[in-house]
C-alpha cells in the first residue's frame, strides 16, 4: 500500500483522519484540505516487429530481473500516449510515430499501492534497439518462446494481443 502522509505537504502540520465523500481521508484543518490516496497511472507499450514482441529486462524493483513490456509511470502534463512513447525511447532507444490505446487494468503494488496500467500499441517504430534507462536488456521475442514476464497485467495485455493477432 502506498504510504500516507503524516503531515500536510502544504503547511507541515499533522494530518487527522476524516470521513468525507464516503471515504476515510486524511485531512488538514488549517488548509481545509482532504488528501485522496489515488491510484498511480502507469503505461505499458506493446510493440511488435515481424510477429515478435518487444520486452525489456527490468533493472529495478519491483520485479527486478524479470521481463516486462516497456513502460513506467506517467508524468504531470503528459498524455498516456506521450508517456508510453517516452518510456519506449528511454528503455529501448526506439521511437514510435504513434501510439493508440489498447487496454487497461489495475494492479496492486506494495511500493505504489494501486496502479492503473494503461496499455498502448506503438506503430511506426524506428531506431536502434538498445537497453537504456532502467532496463538491463531489451529484445524482440517469439510469442511462443517468451521469457518469464513479471507483471500479471503485462501477461494479460500480451495474451489479448495474441488473441487479436499480432499486428
- 137-159 per-position pLDDT tens digit: 999 999 999 999 999 999 999 99
And the C-alpha cell for 5? 502522509
Which positions ≥6 away from 103 have C-beta within 8 Å? Answer: 118, 119, 156, 157, 160
Domain spans of the chain?
Answer: 1-37, 40-164
pLDDT band at 13 (very low <50, low <70, confident <90, very high): very high
Q: In what order do the strands lie in the sheet with 95-109?
A: 71-73, 40-46, 113-126, 95-109
How do residues 72-89 score in pLDDT, each as one tens digit? 999 999 999 999 999 999
pLDDT band at 2 (very low <50, low <70, confident <90, very high): low
Average the pLDDT over 98-107 and give the result. 96
Homologous superfamily (CATH) for 40-164: Nucleoside Triphosphate Pyrophosphohydrolase (3.90.79.10)
- Does position 121 have pLDDT exceeding 60, yes or no? yes
How do residues 27-69 score in pLDDT, each as one tens digit? 999 999 998 888 999 999 999 999 999 999 999 988 999 999 9
Which positions ≥6 away from 38 have C-beta within 8 Å? Answer: none
Amino acid at each position: 500500500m502506498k504510504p500516507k502522509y503524516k503531515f500536510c505537504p502544504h503547511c507541515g502540520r499533522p494530518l487527522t483522519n476524516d470521513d468525507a465523500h464516503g471515504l476515510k481521508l486524511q485531512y488538514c484543518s488549517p488548509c481545509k484540505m482532504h488528501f485522496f490516496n489515488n491510484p498511480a497511472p502507469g503505461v505499458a507499450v506493446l510493440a511488435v516487429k515481424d510477429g515478435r514482441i518487444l520486452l525489456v529486462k527490468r533493472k529495478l524493483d519491483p520485479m527486478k530481473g524479470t521481463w516486462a513490456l516497456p513502460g513506467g509511470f506517467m508524468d504531470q502534463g503528459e498524455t498516456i500516449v506521450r508517456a508510453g512513447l517516452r518510456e519506449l525511447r528511454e528503455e529501448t532507444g526506439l521511437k514510435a510515430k504513434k501510439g493508440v490505446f489498447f487496454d487497461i487494468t489495475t494492479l496492486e503494488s506494495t511500493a505504489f499501492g494501486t496502479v492503473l496500467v494503461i496499455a498502448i500499441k506503438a506503430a511506426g517504430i524506428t531506431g536502434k534497439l538498445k537497453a537504456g534507462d532502467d532496463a538491463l536488456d531489451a529484445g524482440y521475442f517469439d510469442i511462443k518462446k517468451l521469457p518469464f514476464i513479471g507483471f500479471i497485467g503485462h501477461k494479460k495485455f500480451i495474451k489479448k494481443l495474441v488473441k487479436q493477432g499480432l499486428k
